[in-house]
Chain A
């Protein structure tokens, strides 16, 4: 205890796994990319696989682990093709600097959009398969036999005819010198032995004993700690601060501007830095958004729902306007969805060490390469003189795909050259400067014919575009393709219904509150809008909500299959227990088909008890069904927290919520068991971290309607005085 912690370079690279050997960091701060095998000299068979002489297998993972389990899933895919002994597998992160120096050999580092596995499964499996072939070839060369007569299994290469066998570790060094084959055949998933199984995560043990190192835990010799305040008004700037007022406070080193909108106090501990920051007189220039408010935004978005206002068409077929004009029955409703914060448990932080010769950063990031680019830009140094060391993320949910906090750490560290500076945001700073779930409203109009069949549907979204803010080049002719996730005809989030006359429009309106990708993000509100409204249409048609949906899904068999699966499991065809009411929702997102059924009871008109959740996912291939179940149950905690409590409201240009007392989250008492049905149908690769979050809210809202006859079209429930029992 007490100062016994020492940093090992390798310990950083592998993100906390225990390894005895390694270069003690001490005052010898790691230099430039040395090639990933430099850590302890073990042979790198290829970029993805290192095999130690004692047969331990180290699999390189480029994507970030933030709880979603893809570190384990990706290792399973590599190990499957490698034919190694799973019990001997550990993982490590290559650094973005190493990847840059090696022509991006590890591909994309970004970890979001539930792409961790589906976005790299092909090349990581090939990496494992090529490594296997090299190992087999090396053994065959040693024995003087054809490689085709040898096989690998559980880390042992054998030659049946001669009865010889040898372990991977014995031939790894020779294998590393061979020329890799250009192409390899991958296994049929039906033959998987390691992938496809619910093996335990590889990163659990250190998460139960306090040893896992997150960014907040990084220690370096001579470390300074910093607390920061960015102008609390969105888009405002720092005018001045009076550091003489805190100069004599204990432990304070200095106060310094960070960019043109923030000020940080640097001290010998974070607690002292934060205390001094709270005491620092700061004058802000509130800038152009000083009067911005959620109320004004809501009125502006409501205007965007009107046909007289400009909008772009995102999906259409037939003639929805004519169908609605000629309808026997027209149903119309307006829904809205607020800004929400990610509120990952670990507040944002990054530790930077800058000298005029070199800049290194240690941080939890969902996008190592973007963080690396931010370090290069902020330091002003060439890429070859920069490095980012990824550590475990205390949650990401999209927020840690941004690099604002990395840039801040570097800009600050540049003012203290030679001293590592750990910049840690307070929770209050995290609430004040999110990259929030976008704010939208939606007007839906449905047309039923005389037989109560749905003949036309208009969906008009008004509101914020993430891409317009973070990747404006992706917005073409005013259309943000991501804004219409789940409502479009093609891609990985397709509308799951056949609507004979359909018109989906988006009136983009961007308030001055920075939006960002969020767990599930656009499918969350789009599913709430559509799946609540489909329920409204079913009731207007006098139809059972399941039967009504099924009638619209003839050409969406996979979507129908997940819906049927939850309906069957929850017992939709039979009455619910006395006092319990059910709701359904079904949607597609991130390449997977999902559906949910909720059973709830409602007391005193506004106290909800959720008794049961059934959720089905068809992700195509299920690399680790046990972890998929955990992602599904966790997604309901995140999604229902958002439904019940999630709103960042703006007044005088500032977020009104400051901490978990005003931005609450579900507790264990509120959460029922989620019965996850994982039903991979094969032939495609869908994501699993996010898809089911979008069916959480509409399933519960539809159950709430079944229980009370009251349709909720504005969330979170907290503001309607609806909460948990």
Chain B
């Protein structure tokens, strides 16, 4: 059994030792907001926080993050109704198909935690998620809006 702390709750899961965190989250824990896009750490759709740092969960083994604080999109709001980024995402109508947006939001949230008022350049350097619908322009606006909120 592997003990994970996901969104503040301890869960015991029975996974093969080579199971990526992404699939443990989706299939063993049942939280499907974290998405599979490439499996090789390229697209960022599976981004979660591990001890507050944005990490591509497809490229981390579940067994290697036992005991660390894992936050998924379902836990982004913590005890509030919405994280300010989620609010800004809605206000700016950012998502199109929406599939990559969990990862985009988690990447943006880690950036804001580190740099509360990021510049465009900070955004460019911190966020490398792929969005095939092309929501970058609205995502950038929403990040700036959330920083001011």
A residues apposed to B, CB below 8 Å: 1-5, 66-69, 200-201, 203-214, 216-217, 219, 225, 250, 269-272, 275, 343-347, 392-397, 424, 426-427, 626-627, 630, 633-638, 641, 659-661, 665-669, 671, 673-674
Q: Scan residues 22-60 of chain B and give those whose CB is less than 8 A from a CB of chain A.
A: 23, 27-40, 42-43, 45
Q: Is the CB of B134 within 8 A of A210?
A: no
Within 8 Å by CB of A427, from B16, B37, B123, B133, lies B37
10 tightest Cβ-Cβ pairs between the two chains A and B: A210-B33, A637-B134, A207-B98, A634-B134, A394-B99, A67-B97, A67-B96, A669-B124, A271-B23, A210-B73
Q: Is the CB of B129 within 8 A of A394?
A: no
Given contacts A209-B73, A216-B36, A668-B124, contact A630 B99 (CB under 8 A): no
Residue pairs across A and B with CB atoms within 8 Å: the count is: 196
Q: Return 18 A-B CB contacts under 8 Å, by A number.
A: A1-B30, A204-B89, A205-B90, A208-B101, A212-B98, A216-B36, A344-B99, A345-B100, A394-B98, A394-B100, A395-B99, A396-B97, A633-B137, A634-B133, A665-B132, A668-B136, A668-B139, A669-B124
Within 8 Å by CB of B31, from A1, A204, A206, lies A1
Q: Is the CB of A346 within 8 A of B99?
A: yes
Given contacts A2-B11, A630-B93, contact A660 B130 (CB under 8 A): yes
Within 8 Å by CB of B99, from A219, A345, A626, lies A345
Given contacts A3-B30, A667-B127, contact A209 B77 (CB under 8 A): yes
Within 8 Å by CB of B90, from A4, A208, A397, A426, lies A208
CB distance from B3 to the nearest CB of A (A): 14
Within 8 Å by CB of B98, from A270, A392, A641, A671, lies A392
Q: Is the CB of A636 within 8 A of B134?
A: yes
Within 8 Å by CB of B127, from A343, A347, A396, A668, lies A668
Closest Cβ neighbor of A225 among chain B residues: B27
Q: Is the CB of A344 within 8 A of B19?
A: no
Given contacts A345-B132, A395-B133, A633-B134, contact A211 B33 (CB under 8 A): yes
Alpha-carbon gap, A208 to B83, bound state (A): 10
Closest Cβ neighbor of B29 among chain A residues: A2
Of B35, B131, B133, chain A has the most CB atoms within 10 Å of the CB of B133
Of B27, B34, B102, B130, chain A has the most CB atoms within 10 Å of the CB of B130
CB distance from A555 to the nearest CB of B (A): 34
Q: Is the CB of B99 within 8 A of A204?
A: no
Q: Is the CB of A271 within 8 A of B27?
A: yes
Closest Cβ neighbor of B81 among chain A residues: A209
Given contacts A394-B99, A667-B128, contact A427 B30 (CB under 8 A): no
CB distance from A260 to the nearest CB of B (A): 28
Task: Point out the residues of chain B lying under 8 angstroms from A671, CB to CB.
Answer: 134, 136-137
Q: Is the CB of A668 within 8 A of B140?
A: yes
CB distance from A633 to the nearest CB of B (A): 5
Q: Is the CB of A347 within 8 A of B90?
A: no
Q: Is the CB of B35 within 8 A of A1?
A: no
Alpha-carbon gap, A270 to B15, bound state (A): 12
Alpha-carbon gap, A212 to B44, bound state (A): 18
B residues apposed to A, CB below 8 Å: 6-7, 9, 11, 16, 18-20, 23, 27-40, 42-43, 45, 72-74, 76-77, 82, 86, 89-90, 93-102, 105, 123-125, 127-140
Task: Point out the residues of chain A lying under 8 angstroms from B77, CB to CB.
Answer: 209
Q: Is the CB of B137 within 8 A of A673?
A: yes
Given contacts A208-B90, A210-B73, A660-B40, contact A635 B134 (CB under 8 A): yes
CB distance from A386 to the nearest CB of B (A): 26
Task: Point out the residues of chain B lying under 8 angstroms from A212, CB to CB.
Answer: 98
Task: Point out the residues of chain A lying under 8 angstroms from B30, CB to CB.
Answer: 1-5, 219
Q: Is the CB of B93 within 8 A of A345?
A: no
Q: Is the CB of B136 within 8 A of A207?
A: no
Alpha-carbon gap, A393 to B95, bound state (A): 12
Alpha-carbon gap, A451 to B105, bound state (A): 58
Q: Is the CB of B86 within 8 A of A208?
A: yes
Alpha-carbon gap, A350 to B123, bound state (A): 35
Q: Is the CB of A210 within 8 A of B133?
A: no
Task: Point out the residues of chain A lying under 8 angstroms from B7, CB to CB.
Answer: 1
CB distance from A272 to the nearest CB of B (A): 7
Closest Cβ neighbor of A428 among chain B residues: B39
Alpha-carbon gap, A345 to B133, bound state (A): 9
CB distance from B11 to the nearest CB of A (A): 6
Task: Point out the residues of chain B lying under 8 angstroms from A630, CB to CB.
Answer: 93, 96, 135, 138
Task: Point out the residues of chain B lying under 8 angstroms from A269, CB to CB.
Answer: 23, 27-28
Task: Point out the residues of chain A lying under 8 angstroms from B33, CB to CB.
Answer: 209-211
Task: Point out the residues of chain B lying under 8 angstroms from A345, CB to CB.
Answer: 35, 37, 43, 45, 97, 99-100, 130-133
Within 8 Å by CB of A210, from B31, B123, B129, lies B31
Task: Point out the residues of chain A lying under 8 angstroms from B130, CB to CB.
Answer: 345, 660, 665, 667
Q: Is the CB of A210 within 8 A of B32?
A: yes
Q: Is the CB of A208 within 8 A of B127?
A: no
Alpha-carbon gap, A585 to B132, bound state (A): 23
Alpha-carbon gap, A426 to B38, bound state (A): 8
CB distance from B120 to the nearest CB of A (A): 9
Q: Is the CB of B134 within 8 A of A638?
A: yes
Given contacts A210-B72, A667-B129, contact A250 B16 (CB under 8 A): yes
CB distance from B37 to the nearest CB of A (A): 5
Closest Cβ neighbor of A213 among chain B residues: B32
CB distance from A697 to the nearest CB of B (A): 14
Task: Point out the residues of chain A lying under 8 angstroms from B136, CB to CB.
Answer: 633, 637, 666-668, 671
Q: Is the CB of B42 within 8 A of A208?
A: no
Q: Is the CB of A201 within 8 A of B93?
A: yes
Task: Point out the residues of chain A lying under 8 angstroms from B140, CB to CB.
Answer: 668
Q: Is the CB of A208 within 8 A of B89?
A: yes
Q: Is the CB of B74 within 8 A of A209?
A: yes
Q: List 18 additional contacts besides A395-B133, A396-B97; criterion CB under 8 Å.
A: A1-B6, A1-B7, A67-B96, A201-B95, A204-B89, A209-B74, A219-B30, A225-B27, A271-B19, A346-B37, A392-B98, A394-B100, A427-B40, A630-B138, A638-B132, A638-B134, A659-B40, A668-B123
Alpha-carbon gap, A3 to B29, bound state (A): 7
Alpha-carbon gap, A1 to B42, bound state (A): 27
Given contacts A67-B98, A210-B31, contact A426 B39 (CB under 8 A): yes
Task: Point out the residues of chain A lying under 8 angstroms from B35, CB to CB.
Answer: 214, 216, 345-346, 394
Alpha-carbon gap, A1 to B70, bound state (A): 14
Alpha-carbon gap, A669 to B30, bound state (A): 33
Task: Point out the residues of chain A lying under 8 angstroms from B129, CB to CB.
Answer: 667-668
